[in-house]
Structures are given as structure tokens and as C-alpha cells.
Structure 1
Amino acid sequence: MNIETKRQKEKDIVALMIKIYCKKHHKSKHLCQECQQLKDYAFTRSDKCPFMETKTFCSNCKVHCYRPDMQQKIREVMAYSGPRMLFYHPVMAIKHVIETQKEKRRLENAK
């Protein structure tokens, strides 16, 4: 898989998670301003990531490039949306879990 495909896949997952979170917490059909800013920030971080070739997802990265406030917000979004992704996009959710587990095993074996 090439880097741009990987980057777009990560963006698609983050966008879906933020959409799920915003819909339930802010009762909005479209992203509210706060959630749109988080999505824009996440996309910018992904676009500038120098490790995209070797990492799967930001949660598995050794370098956390998010500002602390944005890091906390994205954790809230992921904690809420992660389990619910199965209802919105089951294939994407299952692939995400499998890839995350593979990456964690790879990182543990590299130690």
C-alpha cells in the first residue's frame, strides 16, 4: 500500500469517528465548529507525518505530535466512537482492529 493510500485511509477513519462523536454529543447533522477544527487539525497532522511509511495509526506512533488539548479531545472521540464504529461501518472497524493488533505485535517483537 502506498503512503497516500495509507494516509487517506487514516483520514477516513478519523473523519468517521469524529462524525459519530459529534452527531451524538453535539446533536448535529453536520460537524459543529469544534469538531470540524479537530478534524482539520487531525488531517493536517496526518499530512505532515514523517512516519506514515512505517506506522499504521497515530495511536501506535512513538512520537505524539498532537498538542495536549487536541490529543485529549481525539482520545475522547476515539474512546466514544471506536466501539460504535461497528454499527456505522463494520468492515472499516474490523480492518482497523486487525491492523492495530498486528502493529502492536510488530512493535512488541521489535523491542
Structure 2
Amino acid sequence: MHLKKDERQGDGEAYRTGKNDDSADDCPLPAALSEAQADNAHYQALNAYADKRLDKCVFGENKPACKQCPVHCYQPAKREEMKQIMRWAGPRMLWRHPILTVRHLLDDRRPVPTLPEKYRPKK
């Protein structure tokens, strides 16, 4: 059974990622982004898209870091946009949320779990 973001229990990457989405809300937007992208509705829509993708992750609580995941659930354009945002937010996260930064770095070192049986390609 797959749990929604607010029903998740435990300490998995998907749980922490969903739980900590609000922590990015207090960070100012990067000055390099255009006025059109700085629109709050744009970031809310992107956040909703990320939540939807996390809720549908085939790995569930054992989710690896997205950059190591064999299943790319984001659309290519959204994936590039998330990379841009993470490149900007990553260094700032160290000062605003040092414990989350350490957890995130440790999660990057975790081995990628095997794909669940029902999602493996048929032979």
C-alpha cells in the first residue's frame, strides 16, 4: 500500500522530502530567475508536481535520491528546472537546515534498491 504525503511514517527519503518541502518556503528566490519565474504560483505548481511524483514513486519509503534513481518520473523540463532550483538552494540549505543537509548527503550515499517486482520489465 502506498501512503500519501501526510500519511507517511518512518524515516525514508520520500517522507523527509515531502515533510521538508515547507522549509524551502522561507528561502528567498534567486535573483537570477526571471520575473515570470519568480511568480509564487509557478513555484506552488512546481511543488504540487513534485508532491504528486513523490506520492507515485515506485520505491515508496525506500526511495533513492532522484539523481541516482533508475526510474525518472519527472518530465525532462521539470527535471531541469528542479536541478536549477537545487543548485541554488543546496548551499543555502547548509546554513538554514544543517541537519537536513547531512541527512540529504547521507541519503545520496545509500545504495539504490532493486525495482519492485511489479515494475520490472517482463522477459
TM-score, L = length of structure 2: 0.66
1:57 is aligned to 2:57? no
Matched-pair contact (CA < 8 Å) for 2:15–2:61: no
2:59 is the counterpart of 1:70: no
Q: Kindly indicate whether the alpha-carbon contact (under 8 Å) linking 1:14 and 1:42 is maintained by their aligned counterparts in 2.
A: no
Dislocated runs of 4+, deviation >4 Å = none
Counting matched residue pairs gives: 98
Aligned counterparts of 1:79 and 1:58: Cα–Cα separation in 2 = 14
User: Deviation digits for residues 17-64 of structure 1, max 9, x if unmatched?
Assistant: 4753x533469xxx7111111100000000011112433322221010
Correspondence for 1:44: 52
- Deviation of 1:11 (Å): 1.6
Identity %: 28
Q: Find the aligned partners of 2:61 and 2:19 in 1 and give their Cα distance.
A: 17
- Which residue is equivalent to 2:19? 12
Q: Give unmatched runs, 5+ long, in structure 2.
A: 113-123
1:23 equivalenced with 2:26 (yes/no): no
Which structure's CA Rg is the greater one? 2
Task: Provide the C-alpha distance between the structure 2 equivalents of 1:19 and 1:68, rounded to a whole number of angstroms.
Answer: 27
Q: Which runs of 5+ in 1 are unaligned?
A: none
Q: Point out the structure with the larger helix share.
A: 1
Of stretches 92-101 and 4-13 in structure 1, the one that deviates more from structure 2 is 4-13
CA gap 1:40/1:19 in 2 versus in 1, 3 angstroms = farther
Give the match's secondary structure for 2:79: helix
Q: 1:68-107 CA deviation, whole Å, 9 max, x = no partner?
A: 1111110101111111101111111111112212x2xx34
1:15 is displaced (CA, Å) by 4.5
What value does the CA root-mean-square deviation take over the aligned residues? 2.5
Match of 2:103 among 71, 95, 98: 95
With over 3 angstroms needed to count, the CA separation of the structure-2 counterparts of 1:71 and 1:19, relative to structure 1, is farther
